[in-house]
Structure 1
Amino acid sequence: MSAPVQSRGARPRLGFLGVGWIGRHRMRALISSETVEVAAIADTAPENAAAAGALVPQARQVATLDELLALDLDGVVIATPSAGHAEQAIRILDRGVAVFCQKPLAISALETKQVVAAARRANRALSVDFSYRFTDGMQKIHQLVRSGELGEIYAADLVFHNAYGPDKAWFFDRQLSGGGCLMDLGSHLVDLALWLFDFPHVCSVTSALYSKGVQLHRVAGAVEDFAVASYRLASGQLVRVACSWNLPAGRDAVIEASFYGTAGGASFRNVEGSFYDFAAERFRGTSREPLAAPPDDWGGRAAIAWAREIADGGGFNPRAERLVDVAQALEAAYRQAREPGLHGKPA
């Protein structure tokens, strides 16, 4: 029997597990939304805990997840190294507490299924920080696609090239990260494409992953810093995803998502290499018209949407099942790249 959901209208009491840069950013967004009460903070790095404590002096500082779970919390925001996400999320959900997690939710499709099953069992809200869905530009493109104004969409091209690499060693350890740039950056792109097309079945995958210019299956123990994957969807679209770390692209970042249909196209792109500023356009033949432009304070919207679900008394949302689709699509790309002769299909 699942636990009862929170009373409608109450401000959720949240704990934060991991308050590095991304954890503190999401904390600021949630505080600004006036939707939640930040009740507790846990981080093994004293400097992170101190910086977060300065934002919310009233929040209780604890050392471990066990201490967080001993408090009367409605939700926990997880922003820890990837390898711990699944185990931490399941423990939190099994205590009847909702979870908002940085991507990836888990480092395998099997683990992802286990977390989703725990959320369903507990009847608690589960969400992952796939934040680009919540940008103004992608919301406008989503509306265009769903309305049919672009006709039948048959192709999508999504790119995330980061001129820099991660600054933490665990990103380069496959056992801790689950993968390299495809897991880190490509997960956003795969989620965007599947979300835009309402999560159709993935029929097949072809992929190529490289580490410092050498195909990944030839480099023992490495994670990829360049990846390309093509997905053929049951709804007819061909989706190409490309991402990288440390690519000499002539700017800080190249972030784009373009969609082409029988009656037009649309594109979402970062502005002048920015990681934060995006514009979106609609294409009609060789002409274009603007859909969205900066400024757009989008970074915390996924977390705020999750918090509002809790505040409104919502329990498990079946949309969380789609997290498994993203994990399976990523896993298929890794499997196919490790065995280049394999015709990739999701598990």
Structure 2
Amino acid sequence: MSNTRKNNDSLPRLAFLGLGWIGQHRMQALLEEQACRVVAVADPSEAVRARARELVADAAIATTLDELLQHELDGVVIATPSALHAQQALQVLERGLAVFCQKPLARTQAENAAIVEAARKADRLLGVDLSYRHTEAMRRIRNAVVEGELGPVYAADLVFHNAYGPNKGWARTPALAGGGCAIDLGIHLVDLALWTLGFPEVERVTSRLYANGQLLAPGSETCEDYAVAELALASGAVVRIACSWNISTGRDAVIEAHFHGSKGGAAMTNVDGSFFDFAAARFEGTRRIPLADPPDAWGGRAIVDWARRLAGGARYQNAIESIVQVASVLDRIYGR
């Protein structure tokens, strides 16, 4: 599909850095929604660049960020290995361009805070692909919590167990990825819990990390494949999360978020082990009240929302600062 489908000068001019599966998917989502003009794309892989030529025949093809930045742009979408995000995002923001980055935005709280500060200083729109917020299931659950339908929420249980795991070497190297399954999958759980509950103060974090069934010491250089953590909130509520790679679940994935309030509960659950299909329901005792069911094309909503805000002239927005709190919790899970 070519970005010439709609030649509208009001659309933001974007470049894409990294066009693996996720980068291509997000680019296609923008093109299908006619939400941007793809000016240039870059990837170190010759095969990936050849595929990009098929998707966006009129875009410039490059291999590096420096080459991308030679073009007239409004923003850059970053979908590269995690260790590169901080330096690349800072370089883009220092050029006065907006950034949309795959999660994690960076490996540590300090790196995240530096990027957010750079966006604030440049007064440029910064977005992170925390895509599960944009499922209809989680939207409905958050609305139920915000509107008080559950009463005060005193507990939440969230899990993301993946029967598979990353096949890129860097993703299993803590120095490059920032950690293992906790930063890869747990970031979504921490973000969903805090976002749903209004980003309360997290008073205490306890955790245990495992690799191949062996408990790891805090600060271990070994990449964990199972993580469990408990977050004690200033409200008195408790959040429990667990996530894993390559676990035996009898299905592809277990992805769930349960919220327990004084007047009832609500939960998002993946359907039949799917990574993409989610249902949501509210509970009153033994009564189940459906809130959302698949199908739901949610994967590209975060980036489309960012692109539309950018097209509308949006600059730095304070809401992005929540990513620093999420990163702080992850640092505490890792004991750093």
TM-score (norm 2): 0.96
**2: CA distance between counterparts of 1:95 and 1:146?**
38
1:134 counterpart letter in structure 2: H
Distance 1:220 1:237, change over 3 A: closer
Instruction: Give how far 1:47 is off.
Output: 1.3
> Can you list the C-alpha shifts for 1:180-203, whole angstroms capped at 9, x where unaligned?
000000000000011111111110
Distance 1:50 1:332, change over 3 A: same
Distance 1:218 1:139, change over 3 A: closer
Q: Is 17-26 or 216-225 further displaced after alignment? A: 216-225
Match of 1:222 in 2: 222
Instruction: Give how far 1:299 is off.
Output: 0.2
Match of 1:296 in 2: 296
Instruction: Give how far 1:289 is off.
Output: 1.5
Match of 1:86 in 2: 86
**2: CA distance between counterparts of 1:247 and 1:222?**
17
Contact 1:216 1:223 in 2 (8 A): no
Contact 1:76 1:92 in 2 (8 A): yes
Contact 1:93 1:124 in 2 (8 A): yes
Instruction: Give how far 1:165 is off.
Output: 1.0
In the alignment, is residue 76 of structure 1 matched against residue 66 of structure 2? no
Match of 2:44 in 1: 44
**1: CA distance between counterparts of 2:303 and 2:200?**
25
Instruction: Give how far 1:35 is off.
Output: 1.3
1:105 counterpart letter in structure 2: L
Q: How many residues align?
A: 328
1:149 counterpart letter in structure 2: E
Instruction: Give how far 1:69 is off.
Output: 1.0
**2: CA distance between counterparts of 1:251 and 1:275?**
10
Match of 2:313 in 1: 313
Match of 1:191 in 2: 191
Contact 1:156 1:257 in 2 (8 A): yes
**2: CA distance between counterparts of 1:157 and 1:173?**
28
2:14 counterpart letter in structure 1: L
Distance 1:281 1:332, change over 3 A: same
Q: Is 151-160 or 53-62 further displaced after alignment? A: 53-62
Contact 2:270 2:279 in 1 (8 A): yes
Provide runs of 4+ in structure 1 moved above 6 Å.
none
Match of 2:285 in 1: 285
Match of 1:345 in 2: none
**2: CA distance between counterparts of 1:147 and 1:56?**
43
> Can you list the C-alpha shifts for 1:108-144, whole angstroms capped at 9, x where unaligned?
1001000000000111110110000000010001110
SS at match of 1:104: coil
Instruction: Give how far 1:236 is off.
Output: 2.4
Instruction: Give how far 1:220 is off.
Output: 5.6
TM-score (norm 1): 0.93
Structure 1 residues 123-138: aligned runs within 5 Å: 123-138=123-138
Contact 2:219 2:334 in 1 (8 A): no
Contact 1:211 1:219 in 2 (8 A): no
Match of 1:148 in 2: 148
- Percent identity reads 56
Distance 1:66 1:219, change over 3 A: closer
SS at match of 2:297: coil
> Can you list the C-alpha shifts for 1:16-55, whole angstroms capped at 9, x where unaligned?
0000000000001011111110111000011112222211
In the alignment, is residue 96 of structure 1 matched against residue 96 of structure 2? yes
> Can you list the C-alpha shifts for 1:77-115, whole angstroms capped at 9, x where unaligned?
100000000110000001011000011111110010000
1:309 counterpart letter in structure 2: R
1:135 counterpart letter in structure 2: T
1:289 counterpart letter in structure 2: I
2:54 counterpart letter in structure 1: A
Contact 2:162 2:246 in 1 (8 A): yes
SS at match of 1:217: coil
**1: CA distance between counterparts of 2:154 and 2:87?**
38
Distance 1:265 1:220, change over 3 A: closer
Instruction: Give how far 1:218 is off.
Output: 8.4
SS at match of 1:250: coil
SS at match of 1:208: strand
Contact 1:101 1:128 in 2 (8 A): yes
Distance 1:220 1:232, change over 3 A: closer
Match of 1:56 in 2: 56
**1: CA distance between counterparts of 2:299 and 2:219?**
35
**1: CA distance between counterparts of 2:136 and 2:303?**
16
**2: CA distance between counterparts of 1:219 and 1:17?**
31
Question: Which consecutive unaligned segments of at least 5 residues does structure 1 have?
Answer: 1-8, 337-347
Match of 1:208 in 2: 208
1:258 counterpart letter in structure 2: H
> Can you list the C-alpha shifts for 1:270-293, whole angstroms capped at 9, x where unaligned?
000000000001101011011000
**2: CA distance between counterparts of 1:135 and 1:33?**
17
Match of 2:31 in 1: 31
Match of 1:343 in 2: none
Structure 1 residues 234-249: aligned runs within 5 Å: 234-249=234-249
**2: CA distance between counterparts of 1:234 and 1:312?**
37
Match of 1:276 in 2: 276
